Amino acid sequence: MELINKTQRILEIFNELNRIPRCSKKEERIAEWLLHWAKCHKLECAKDDVNNIVIRVPAKGGYQGAPGIILQGHMDMVCEKNSDTVHDFSKDAIQSYQEGDWLKAKGTTLGADNGIAIAMALALAEDETIFHPPLELLFTVDEETGLMGANSLQPGFVTGRTLINIDSEDEGVFTIGCAGGKATLFKQKQYPSATPNDYLAAEISIKGLLGGHSGIDIIERRANANRLLVRLLHQFANRCEIRLISANGGTAHNAIPRESSAAIAFHRKDEEILKDITSRFQKELALEFQTLEKNIQIRFRETAHSEKSIDYPQTLHIINFLLVLPHGVIYLSDTLPGVVETSVNFARVRVNQQNAETLTSQRSLNSGALSELVSRMEALARLAGFTTEHIHSYPVWAPDWHSPLLERSKKIYRSLFDKDPAVEVIHAGLECGIIGSKYAGMDMVSIGPTIKHPHSPDEKLQISTINKVFHFLVSLLQDFKQ
């Protein structure tokens, strides 16, 4: 079929979305914008108690008898920026620019995950020349911090039983299953004491890492800034009696930490020893990650004396606990070659004068393996005297290799592009698992244009894949005419 190129219009809508703040848990303005858009286009819409939005688009061109189709994406984005980037996500627009075939952002995440889904759905719905079945455009909130919007969906909010999720990140790949997950917060009360007068203070920072998506990129063994910081602190503590003042690393549960830092106090006689350890560690990491991490930066900078700090025995206890926290791939899949089955991300660490906290995110394609990993994390916390709180979880989306929607999708893709699409199960969380558990009989597939390095300031969207996915989407919808 001939289809006018919609790339420019889709990017116009996407750029408009990128002027609206939409960090996770702060989607009020984007939700209101969507309601206004629906009103301007005279379309029925609804908002639930948590700001999930559904826009109902009537059938066009004789498709009134076709089954209703849900197009689904999420409103929020991971708000990450480089430490030297001046940007306030609560009010500043994302500054995007084109470089060859890629759309990028200046020092921040781009928000293509998942703003491009909204842009594509709206571009389709507003075009009176495109015929299609009845559509429900379902846009959820708070996906990135634990699929909270999908978890809050109520019976009857959508009525269709065929769902096309537009949150995958490789054109030509259909996703039909994903990992389930659970994030765990560890916490221990701290009781700092007076820092000796003959102690100095310094900040140790690690930055310049690739970071990335803790599900998709975990198999690549990218360096985790929190892990590197803890390793360095452990070397310090083995040679000198250091005292922790604070630590701060990582942000989101689903992002591999790119930057991490700690403030420590130490006896003035040990300053050169600590600087030498830092220098040696920098060289050690350059060799260890020589083929992957090209820009690891470690800085040791003297700071003002801190009146209080955590004494050496407790500092060592915290460091030892953080050192044994697992990170990375736990198991590879036995049935899906090259796919991670189970993993954990050492996502965040916060130490201050009141508490020591850390956040980990466990994922698995196997619910039993996930349960076992979570139990291990809880046991580790008990041994170290930390409390645990599971702040969110989401179910496994088990693949249906005989899905009617999948078969239809493969047929359409083959007819358009004269090749077979890839079909995969991913080690990341998609809302399909939750939506399928809430609405019985839901047939689902996930698609999307190519996005690289989501959840990091290196995120980029391949422009040439946008219209290819849009062309496929329209063709798929038009195949539902009976």
pLDDT digits (tens, 9 = 90+) for 288-329: 999 999 999 999 999 999 999 999 999 999 999 999 999 999
Q: Which pLDDT value is given to residue 3?
A: 61
Q: Known catalytic residue: 136?
A: no
Q: Which of 27, 76, 217, 311 is catalytic?
A: 76
Distance CA 215, CA 371 (A): 17
Q: What digits encode the pLDDT tens for the residues 67-99?
A: 999 999 999 999 989 888 999 999 999 999 999
Position 2 confidence tier, pLDDT thresholds 50, 70, 90: low
Q: Which pLDDT value is given to residue 348?
A: 97
Question: What is the average pLDDT across 201-205?
Answer: 98
Rg (CA), the chain: 24
The fraction of the chain above a pLDDT of 90, given in percent, is 92
Position 393 confidence tier, pLDDT thresholds 50, 70, 90: confident
Q: What digits encode the pLDDT tens for the residues 139-163?
A: 999 998 889 999 999 999 999 999 9
Asked if the model's pLDDT at residue 209 lies above 90, the reply is yes
Q: What digits encode the pLDDT tens for the residues 25-37?
A: 999 999 999 999 9
Distance CA 475, CA 133 (A): 11
Q: Which pLDDT value is given to residue 39?
A: 98
Q: Known catalytic residue: 407?
A: no
Q: Which pLDDT value is given to residue 392?
A: 83
Residue type at 357? E
Domains of the chain, earliest start first: 7-179+396-478 (3.40.630.10), 182-394 (3.30.70.360)
Give 452's contacts (C-beta < 8 A, 6+ positions apart).
Answer: 102, 169, 458, 459, 460, 462
Among the listed residues 113, 105, 68, 107, the one whose alpha carbon sits nearest the alpha carbon of residue 84: 107
Backbone phi, psi, residue 92, to 5°: -85, 140
What is the pLDDT of the chain when averaged over all its residues?
Answer: 95
Q: Which of 143, 144, 171, 459 is catalytic?
A: 143
Global pTM value:
0.82
Q: Which pLDDT value is given to residue 303?
A: 96
Cα separations in angstroms, 113 against 47, 143, 459: 22, 10, 9
